[in-house]
Amino acid sequence: MLRDITLGQYYQTESVIHRLDPRVKLAGTVIFIISLFCFHNIWGYLCAALFLFAVVKLSKVPFKFMIKGMRSIMFLLLITVVFNLFLTPGETVLTIWKLHITKEGIRIAVFMVIRLTMLIIGSSLMTLTTTPNNLTDGMEKAMSPLKLFRLPVHEIAMIMSIALRFIPILMEETDKIMKAQIARGADFESGNIFKKAKAMVPLLVPLFIAAFRRANDLAMAMEARCYRGGAGRTKMKPLIYKRRDVAAYLLLFAYLAGSIVVDRVPNMIAKAPVEEQVITTAGTLAETDLIDLNGLDNIQD
């Protein structure tokens, strides 16, 4: 019933992406997301899509899973599109009642959808290929320089790992309580929004109680095993970069450099005087082989 939400769930399989150091995947996700918000035109996004597609293929996670994760943000996506479409000032294309759809609005809306879709797929790819434990280990290590500023890095990482670990547990619990209440004739689907909200009470009360009970048990279990924070704590499997991690970093930077070039070059060409065009194109071609030649031709036309 509730198993459709894949955000923050691990998909178990054997792949090169699964084996990567979590720090690489973290850095990769952050860089990928930042790159998504830097692009100006469709070529940059095409580049990002290609990169994402390649990584998804490598990860061996069925594409279905990414799409499933999308379903949960459909509503957000819809709101973003509607607001951008109608509330961006600019050249009007279509008028419905008092609302104007502008050319700029369409452009922003389309880019927003592409951005958010790839953002969700990119970040769920990270959680799908990294166990929560690994992920927080990676985070802890990556953030460890911040300890100098008295940031409780270990505690933050522990809180995150517990939170992530609890997602599937609470999900299962929700599923169970939901079924139990449906068996008692509860109806979670029909009715207006107020009726639906009221119908959630028999679900939420037991769920909160269960969450507190589990938190209590966990705290007790941690204490019984002498947990006392990060000071002096060692790892059973310390994170060490391997050759494949270095290779992954290199590929990541190649993607970043390549996509920026692909994204910027058409703009530069458009702005450059006609006689300089050829030189610019040739120059960038020498720099990178990632440029879509056909695309460039189209722009020049």
Partner 1 sequence: MPIILDHVSHVYGDDTTLAVKALDDVSLVIPDGQFIGLIGHTGSGKSTLVQHLNGLLRATSGNIYFNGQDIDDEDFNKKELRSKVGLVFQYPEHQLFEVDVFSDVCFGPKNLGLSKKETELRAYDALKKVGLPDECFYQSPFDLSGGQKRRVAIAGVLAMKPEVLILDEPTAGLDPKGREEILGQICKLKEESNITVILVSHSMEDVAEYVDRILVMNHGSIMYDDVPKEVFKHYKELEEVGLAAPQVTYIMHNLKEAGLSVDENATTIKEAAEEVFRALTERTRLL
Rounded Cα gap, residues 103 and 107, in angstroms: 6
Cβ proximity to partner 1, 210 vs 299, nearer residue? 210
Rounded Cα gap, residues 256 and 32, in angstroms: 8
CB of 208 to partner 1, least distance (A): 10
* Segment (H or E) for 256: helix 243-271
Cα torsion angle, 105, 49, 124, 151, sign: negative
Cβ proximity to partner 1, 1 vs 34, nearer residue? 1
Identify residue 235 by its one-letter amino acid code.
K
Rounded Cα gap, residues 181 and 196, in angstroms: 14
Rounded Cα gap, residues 297 and 293, in angstroms: 6
Cβ proximity to partner 1, 184 vs 228, nearer residue? 184
Whole-angstrom CA distances from 151 to 143, 145, 170, 215, 229 are: 9, 9, 29, 24, 13
CB of 200 to partner 1, least distance (A): 11
Whole-angstrom CA distances from 96 to 8, 51, 85, 219 are: 40, 39, 12, 57
Whole-angstrom CA distances from 113 to 3, 40, 103, 214 are: 25, 14, 16, 38
Q: Spell out the residues 6+ positions from residue 108 whose beta carbon is closer than 8 angstroms to its own.
A: 84, 88
CB of 16 to partner 1, least distance (A): 16
Cβ proximity to partner 1, 112 vs 182, nearer residue? 182
Cβ proximity to partner 1, 12 vs 95, nearer residue? 12
Cβ proximity to partner 1, 3 vs 242, nearer residue? 3
CB of 216 to partner 1, least distance (A): 14
CB of 203 to partner 1, least distance (A): 8
CB of 161 to partner 1, least distance (A): 22
CB of 47 to partner 1, least distance (A): 30
The residues of the shown chain that bind partner 1, judged by CB under 8 A, are 3, 11-13, 62, 64, 176-177, 179-187, 201-202, 205-206, 209-210
Cβ proximity to partner 1, 9 vs 134, nearer residue? 9
Rounded Cα gap, residues 67 and 120, in angstroms: 10
Cβ pair 104, 83 in contact under 8 A = no
